[in-house]
Amino acid sequence: MTDGKDIAIYIKASEMRNTFAVESFNKMKSFFLFSALFAASLSMTVDQYAIVKTVLDDYFELNATFVPFAVRLAFHDCVGGVCDGCINLDNDSNNGLADVIIKLEELRGDAIAAGVPADNITRADFWSAAAIAAVDRGIKVANKACDKRTAPFCNVPPFNASFFAGRQDCSSAPYTDIILDFPNPTMDAADVFTFFDTWFSFSKRQVVALMGAHTLGSAKRANSGYAGVWVDGEAREFDNRFYTIMTDDAVTWTNVDLVQAPISKNPDRKWEWKGTWSDGSPAGMMLNTDFEMRFDLALNATTAQSGCQVNSDCADAETASIVTEFANDQTLWMNEFREVFQAMMAVGSNVTEVV
């Protein structure tokens, strides 16, 4: 059941008229006022969650390519102040999520067929369970590759995330026509921190911990206009390598102008960093918003180009020491990532711990 605190989130959002689309949030506010009065969603039991977990674990075991998408979907579902099982595929920020939504619809159907009552497993709850299962699978993939590496990249600790249920879907789940604003790579650090404070009340340290999810996946020009794998060769592995390559002086980073890329989508103000090792092999890719956690890039307000060279003349960002902490201590990062990820997936909802 949605409470007064949840409605306050939308009132707060509607006041930010210079940043967000007021009309969209008014629609959302009306829906959740309605939900607060009339919705009565049941919550799953421990045994029912075990069925859900088995369905998801079995799928990700054979289809690790969906791991990054499931984690990304969980975040996108919760932007706007509530996780409600609804995504607008006409919003460019959600490009690339169509297939994972369809697949999770099928898997939710499998869980229902296996004995979980449909009323007990909303899409928002199922997407949350899928994100947890995806991180678990990413850790297994990383540890399986452990014999090829040396510390601190090996022996990724278990996620050990708790599952909370009770999120309610929007009336048109899994889709919506509401347009929301997402973080974009032209933002500077202040903009990023303001975004996460507004919607999630996250501290700067929590934002740095959450950004480590970029250890998974890649950017595709057809979706976002950006291109590359964050950690080269490890798009399906979940560990702290996002931080280690960012802090490794052996990696040379070049600010690449994607405005000149002929197949780039919406190319204005698109810059990213390409990293290479000393032998010329690729290390990975970073967006400006990634590196803003480590360096003050002094972004050009017009072009969003970095005003300095990382690992050379860029000043440290105020959160640089946190990045170094997470690079040096995988267990520390995993513990903090778990806490902030669970908080993200509970925003705007009265959830109850299942297991």
In-domain check, residue 326 = yes
pLDDT at 6 over 80: no
Residue 250 domain boundaries: 189-335
Average pLDDT value for the chain:
86
- 302 vs 75: which has the higher pLDDT: 75
207 and 153 housed in the same domain: no
Task: Kindly state whether residue 183 falls inside one of the protein's structural domains.
Answer: no
Considering the domain architecture, whether residues 130 and 50 belong to the same structural domain is answered as yes
Q: Using the structure block, give the residue that is written with the tokens 């902030």.
A: 340
Do 199 and 61 have their domain in common?
Answer: no
Q: Sorting pLDDT into bands at 50, 70 and 90, what band is 225?
A: confident
CATH number at residue 146: 1.10.520.10
Alpha-carbon span 142 to 161, nearest angstrom = 18
| Cα(252)–Cα(263) distance, integer angstroms | 25
Number of domains into which the chain is organized? 3
What is this structure's pTM?
Answer: 0.85
Same domain, 173 and 203: no
CB 283 within 8 A of CB 290: no
Q: Compute CA distances 283 → 107, 212, 230, 277, whole Å.
A: 35, 16, 8, 6
Alpha-carbon distance 112 to 151, whole Å?
42
Phi, psi of 56 (to 5 degrees): -70, -45
CA-based max dimension of the chain? 62
Q: Which segment of 32-36, 111-115, 179-183 scores lowest on mean pLDDT?
A: 32-36
Residue 323 has pLDDT above 70, yes or no: yes
- pLDDT at position 262 is 52
- With beta carbons less than 8 A apart as the criterion, state whether 94 and 88 touch: yes
In terms of Cβ atoms closer than 10 Å to its own Cβ (0-12, 13-18, 19+), residue 16 is middle
Residues 22 and 78 in one domain: no
Identify the weakest region by mean pLDDT among 17-21, 204-208, 311-315: 17-21
CATH code (residue 227): 1.10.420.10
Please report how many Cα atoms fall inside a 13 Å half-sphere around the Cα of residue 56, on the Cβ side. 27
pLDDT at 155: 83
